[in-house]
Structures are given as structure tokens and as C-alpha cells.
Structure 1
Amino acid sequence: MIEVTKINNIKISINPDLIEYIEDTPDTIITLTTGKKIIVKEQREEIMTLFVNYKRKCNSIALIQQ
């Protein structure tokens, strides 16, 4: 899970595997594969970094378990 901040300052955790795409329209909008849209304070680049770090962590755990 990655943590993001909704526009109303509430922190939420989302499953990054459900992210379909991220838009910058001045606000950052995350669209999930479910069709749900979430407006967040983080910039697109920051969310992408969180996503990459999440995937790296998952892959390193999988390698350790082998």
C-alpha cells in the first residue's frame, strides 16, 4: 500500500496495483481500475516514486523468500 493525502487533508492508503493512470489538471487525480477517482495533494511524480519504491520492496521480499 502507498499513503497519499486527499485534498481535505485525510491520509489514505491505496493499493498501487489498482492505479490505472494519474492526471495533473492542476490537481492530481488518481484513477483506479475500479473507475473510482481520488484527488490528492501529492504531485504525479511523487506518486510514481511511491509506486516504484513499493514495487522494489515487493520484489526484494520475493527474492528473499526464494
Structure 2
Amino acid sequence: MITLTKLNKESFTLNAVYIEKIEATPDTMIFLTNGKHYVVLEPVEEVKRRVTKFYHDIQILK
């Protein structure tokens, strides 16, 4: 799980396993495999860093 910040500055936790794609439009939009999407304050590179760390922590990546 990764913690992110909505545009209203409210933080939430997202299960990174369900992320299908991330776009900068210019806001960062995260699209999930279930069709939902979230707009967050963090830039794309920060979201990617957090997802990579999450995968490393659960030992999907070494």
C-alpha cells in the first residue's frame, strides 16, 4: 500500500497492485484496473518511486 494526497490535501492509502497506468495531465492521474481513477498532488516520478518501494518491500522486486 502507498500513501498519497488528494487535491484537497487529504491523504489516503492505495493498493499499488491495482495501478494500471499513471499520467501527468498536468495533474497526476492514477488509473486502476477496476476502472476507477484518482488525481493526486504527488508528481508521477514520486508515485513511481513509492510503487517501486512497495514492490520491493513485499519482495516482488529485488
TM-score under structure 1 normalisation? Answer: 0.87
RMSD, aligned α-carbons: 1.1
Alignment pair present for 1:36 and 2:36: yes
Unaligned runs of 5+ in 2: none
Alignment pair present for 1:21 and 2:25: no
Deviation at 1:53, TM superposition (A): 0.4
User: 1 or 2, which has the higher helix percentage?
Assistant: 1
Match of 1:6 in 2: 6
**CA distance in 1: counterparts of 2:15 and 2:8, whole angstroms:** 20
Segments of 4+ moved more than 3 angstroms? none
TM-score under structure 2 normalisation? Answer: 0.93
Unaligned runs of 5+ in 1: 61-66
Identity of aligned residues (%): 38
Deviation at 1:3, TM superposition (A): 0.2
The count of corresponding residues between Structure 1 and Structure 2 is 60
Deviation at 1:55, TM superposition (A): 0.7
Deviation at 1:30, TM superposition (A): 0.3
